[in-house]
């Protein structure tokens, strides 16, 4: 493994504790880039690896909405915007109790490459919440989504 990739991976592991799924994705991508990195010194010179593995912006916020029982419900909300070098961010939302920052960083990181394969000039991002729509009424899901977007637009 190239020294540049090795140092970058050590740095990613150190600066992303508890985000195993993201670290694994970054490791796989960086290892696949090794032949290119060895051939072209410009990637190290311009810190390209470091720049693609850190999101440009990460927003973490509280989403409060009213449940069907009339009581306030609170969930975490996230938006991870990875790369807008070729255009505006694009990436969906994941609503699931297992959502956390590491999962969304993993999905947003992969979205960069997925979007680049479409040929459309769009960057990568992903958002989500710990909200579980399973078993919720349409009204409760709607109130959650409205609250999520009201917080996200800020």
Catalytic residues, by residue number, are: 126
What is the separation of C-alpha 23 from the centre of its chain, rounded to a whole number of angstroms?
A: 12
Place of tokens 């090795």: 6
In this structure, which long-range contacts are made by residues 60-68, counting pairs with CB atoms below 8 Å and at least 24 apart in sequence?
60/101, 61/151, 61/152, 61/154, 62/151, 63/129, 63/131, 63/144, 63/147, 63/148, 63/151, 64/147, 65/140, 65/143, 65/144, 65/146, 65/147, 65/148, 66/143, 67/140, 68/136, 68/137, 68/139, 68/140
φ and ψ at residue 32, rounded to 5 degrees: -70, -20
């Amino acid at each position: 493994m190239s020294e540049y990739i090795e140092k970058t991976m050590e740095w990613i592991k150190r600066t992303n504790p508890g985000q195993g799924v993201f670290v694994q994705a970054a490791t796989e991508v960086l290892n696949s880039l090794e032949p290119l990195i060895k051939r072209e010194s410009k990637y190290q010179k311009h810190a390209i690896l470091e720049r693609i593995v850190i999101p440009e912006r990460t927003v973490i916020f509280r989403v409060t909405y009213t449940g069907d029982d009339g009581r306030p419900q609170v969930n975490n909300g996230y938006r991870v915007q990875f790369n807008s070098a070729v255009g505006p961010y694009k990436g969906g939302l994941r609503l699931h109790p297992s959502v956390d920052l590491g999962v969304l960083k993993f999905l947003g990181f992969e979205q960069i490459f997925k979007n680049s394969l479409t040929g459309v000039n769009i960057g990568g991002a992903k958002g989500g919440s710990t909200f579980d729509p399973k078993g919720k009424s349409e009204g409760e899901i709607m109130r959650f989504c409205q609250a999520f977007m009201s917080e996200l637009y800020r």
